[in-house]
Amino acid sequence: MIDYKALIREAYIAQQYAYIPYSNWAVGAALVTKSGKVYRGCNIESSTFTPTNCAERTAFFKAISEGEKDFAAIAVVGNAKGTPIGKGDYCPPCGVCRQVMAEFCDADKFEIILARSYDDYKVYTLSQLLPLISLPIKK
Ligand code: THU
């Protein structure tokens, strides 16, 4: 069983480290492996824009670079910096992040938790957010 609230708390911790001088949009993600290990990520922006990395991909790339392959869920929180918890909206992952998730996760099982506070959240499978996945190799 995934402890959604604990994972959301980790996403809020990650959000504090967002490097966002250009957008002021702070995103935090917490990715949990099937064995229960949590990898946090924040968005990291660049003055030349394209190197910007979303919070979700930061968490994935940290985990993958540590040898993790089996993922259960990711919690995501995002809002303009300084928005009180509960006053913002859900922050769904961008299309690029959804495609990265599809590379490494079983889309029918991997869960994406979108939270606007510690106890106001929605849970989706990756298939719901990314139907008709483009994957040339069979995993
Ligand atoms: N961003 C994320 O980190 N994750 C999302 O789900 C949406 C967008 C970041 C990218 C950029 O730093 C800022 O939010 C505004 O788009």
Q: How far is CA 4 from CA 1, 80, 82, 87, in A?
A: 9, 23, 23, 19
Residue range 121-138, pLDDT digits in tens: 999 999 999 998 877 776
Is pTM beyond 0.85? Reply is yes
Helices and strands (DSSP H and E) totals, the chain = 4, 5
From the candidates 10, 45, 56, 111, give the one annotated as an active-site residue. 56
**How far is ligand 1, taken at its centre, from the CA of residue 1, in Å?**
28
Contact 31, 76 (CB under 8 A): no
Nearest to 77 by CA among 2, 1, 4, 3: 4
* Residue to mutate (ligand 1; options 31, 49, 50, 52; most atoms within 8 A of CB): 52
Residue range 76-110, pLDDT digits in tens: 999 999 999 999 999 999 999 999 999 999 999 99
* 56 given a catalytic annotation: yes
Q: Which atom of ligand 1 is nearest to the CA of 54?
A: 3
